[in-house]
Chain A
Amino acid sequence: MNLWQQAQFLLHISRTHGIMRRYFVVNGFDGALTMLGLIMGFQFSAPANLAVIINACLGAAIALGVSGISSAYVSESAERRRDLTHLEEAMATNLKHSAHGAAARWVPMLIALVNGSAPLVISLIILIPLGLAQAGMSLPLSPLLLAISIALILIFLLGVFLGRIAGISWLRSGVQTLLVALLTAALIYLFTAS
């Protein structure tokens, strides 16, 4: 079994595929909305240096990533240990060296990695126009507007992903998440564009 198959097997026997998917969407959504909020805040404020904007957004993205990794690891470790103890009691045997023991050790790390990397990667994608503008590349729109557009597209795609999982209309699901993002944008505009 290669590493990928091993990871799939451990997720399968611990029945944590769904949890990982949920963490990816929830924290990915968090990352996209946080970036959207930050960038809109800068958009409606007095013009700021691009380096300052990038650093502020990057700081938030890193914090989201670390928070995602640590919180998921702590909570999932406890859950997997609890499940393993429960199973060991039912089996009346020590499962430390079995696939279930391996799952209790490795699955929290896998979930933590997904939970932390989802907001970080999504945030970094949103920040690409800012980085390009900072590098001197000329863009067809303002880098902030482009970043906001990418954030809205990614939020829509997360909704599409959710729709496909649920087996419902991907368009409806995508539009639903997009509406949440637009509502957030409206609230930010209401409170910051004065």
Chain B
Amino acid sequence: MVTVKKIVLDVLKPHHPSALEFSLGIANQGPDYRVAITVLEVDENTESLQIIVEGSAIEFEAVQEAINALGGSLHSVDEVIVQSETTKT
């Protein structure tokens, strides 16, 4: 079984909701998600963010949906760490 442990995303979002609310919205998608957001650039209406999500099994689709629901736009996936685990039968 292969699970995603870490993803680093480049996201554009409006000024509202704030980076804190944005991170809470993403962290809510999993039981043990650790979310770190860095605001890279602030424009008149938008902010560019680097979002780092870490967890034991990240569901990328859910993270992407949360970003879209909060008004963000995923520009790129800049870094990924996945891990394969052998399951005993």
Residues of A within 8 A of B (CB): 9, 12-15, 86-87, 90-93, 95, 97-100
Contacts and interface: CB of A to CB of B under 8 A. Distances in A.
Given A87-B45, A90-B43, A90-B46, A100 B14 contact: yes
Interface residues of B, number: 15
Contact of B45 (A9, A12, A15, A86): A86
10 contacts: A13-B16, A87-B45, A90-B44, A90-B45, A93-B73, A95-B71, A97-B68, A98-B72, A99-B17, A99-B71
B19 interface: no
Contacts of A87: 14, 45, 71
Interface of A is mostly: helix
B43 A100 contact: no
Contacts of B12: 91, 93
A100 B17 CA distance: 9
B70 A98 contact: yes
Interface string B30-55: 00000000000001111000000000
A90 B68 CA distance: 15
Contacts of A92: 73
Contacts of B43: 90
